[in-house]
Chains A and B, each alone.
Chain A
């Protein structure tokens, strides 16, 4: 954890990012580059030759019927599949031009760089404050002032601060489902990731809570590269810039979200998004 970045307020960070943008090529290389990526659970071949580029600071949506491998692929990006026995990857998956499956990769550092929000909100049975501070404490940050600062910024970014600022020490389990999910987002943001993976983050929420999450995704993309798996076609259309359609472990089509929904090139994609199967 880089302490200097922690101490900066959100505004500083944004302006710095803008400053560095100027020095970059206008056509920057993609944040995540995937080539010939295959994935296996034991003998089961669940992902076949996936190849795609995920652009920086945009929202990329993965859609497809259940069991098509989109969640597996999402979890490959922060190597969460490593904890499943028999899971194995082949091919290249590069983040900032570094192969994530190379021997030298520090998986712990990778997961701090690539945060994750799960389908079912999973706050720890701790206070709201300790939930957000968890990743920092793991990283050895124990200075109360720094923690206070980051807990507040993270909760603000997750649009939860105003609802919980007076009860940071009460249990996270007492929050509503939507608040819990935003808390999980705040918790992921607190360790200052560059990429945020979201695995159907709103599928267990009511429409109003879902709308809040979607607005949040839209807000967050100015600072983070977001990859979101969703079963909800309208959601993909509303929040994402790029959409990838998976089926039976293969990437069928990947394009700008508008193109995918208005003018898909593949018959399969069209059938799926018009609800003919799935």
Chain B
């Protein structure tokens, strides 16, 4: 190669390099800009709520029932109602979701149905029956996974309608028919239990997906070590896999809780009340809810200006409550993580 050739290739290379540099700078700036945008939006929302809402939050506001057509008094029943609802929802969604994910990830075959089917077709003799079971389980896993994915995409109002149709009209009515005197309705109407179960269904996909992801992060070498020491599959799951996956599972639970605490649409049909001066005292009680209260205040008030401070105050409390729930989850997760690292 002559020196002239070398020169031209070099110049060309440098030119293309600087063009690429320019493109790269543009992209990086755009990425940075998107972060700024998101922070700005979040900042505006939070600032708006804090400026208008924080001042209205007094002891009376968080410890008393609403009065004067919701323009006076507080939102205590709604705070308690929301807390109960979220706790019940968590108690229903997390165990069921974790159990589903453990079964999917640990007990169903890792192969796809097609591969299992191919092996079944090729097999002979006594293996065949076992392989048919493998095919069925693999199919079950596939169907469940896509059902979960689809469940995550269903609009929340549809969950509300499902809750109304299934829990209240079907299960509730049947329970009434079996336990209550004729004509009496106890379970066949919206209440804390049905609302919590409906929300649990809504958050279930989050829990399942997060848990399966967390199970996937437990190194296969640890499972092998446990099995090689004579542990059964269940012992390995209980003592090695679940503790290792716990931080990830908690992350899923946190996400589910935040989502569930803010949902209103499913509650419209399943038990949230417009106004109740008392607290829910049983699973069959109706309840007030912060998110629903916000909806009521902003759409049902005869005097919009009079309810505005109450509205902002309620939103502020809802944000703080969700934040606190999140924080608790994050703290628990941080503790289990450091415990894992230190060897618990």
Contact surface of A with B, Cβ cutoff 8 Å? 42-43, 78, 80, 83, 85-86, 88, 108-109, 111-112, 115-116, 118, 120, 122-128, 130, 134-135, 137-139, 169-173, 184, 187-188, 191
Nearest CB of chain B from residue A143's CB, rounded to whole Å: 18
> Are B127 and A171 neighbours in the complex by a CB distance under 8 Å?
no
| A128: B residues at CB distance < 8 A | 343
In whole angstroms, what is the CA distance A43 to B235 when docked?
32
User: In the complex, what distance in Å separates the CA atom of A128 from the CA atom of B344?
Assistant: 10
Residues of B in contact with A (beta carbons under 8 Å apart): 109-111, 119, 122, 127, 134, 219, 221-222, 224-232, 235, 239-240, 243-244, 340-344
Please list the 4 inter-chain residue pairs (A to B) with the smallest Cβ-Cβ separation, ordered nearest first.
A171-B343, A112-B230, A127-B343, A122-B221
CA separation between A135 and B50, bound complex, in Å?
A: 55
- Is the pair A80, B119 in contact by a Cβ cutoff of 8 Å? no
Quick one: given A80-B224, A85-B134, A118-B224, are A126 and B343 in contact (CB under 8 Å)?
yes
Residue of A nearest to B138 (CB): A85
How many contacting A-B pairs (Cβ < 8 A)? 85
Q: Are B119 and A124 in contact (CB under 8 A)?
A: no
Contact A85 B244 (CB under 8 A): no
Q: Which of B222, B226, B230, B343 contacts A170 (CB 8 A)?
A: B343
Q: Residue among B219, B243, B342 with the most chain A CB within 10 A?
A: B342
Residues of A near B340 (CB, < 8 A) are 125
Known: A85-B134, A135-B230. A124 touches B225 (CB 8 A): yes
* Closest B residue, CB atoms, query A43: B122
Q: Which of B109, B225, B230, B343 contacts A108 (CB 8 A)?
A: B230
Query: What is the distance, in angstroms, from B78's C-beta to the closest C-beta of chain A?
Result: 43
Query: How far apart are B142's CB and chain A's nearest CB, in angstroms?
Result: 15
10 of the cross-chain contacts (CB-CB < 8 Å) are A88-B127, A108-B230, A111-B228, A125-B244, A126-B343, A127-B343, A138-B226, A170-B343, A172-B343, A184-B225
Contact indicator B341/A171 (Cβ below 8 Å): yes
In the complex, the answer to whether A85 meets B109 with C-beta atoms within 8 Å is yes
Most chain A Cβ neighbours within 10 Å, of B222, B225, B341? B225
Partner of B229, one of A83, A86, A135: A135
Asked whether A126 lies within 8 Å of B224 as measured between CB atoms, the reply is no
Q: In the complex, what residue of chain B is closest to A82 when comparing beta carbons?
A: B227
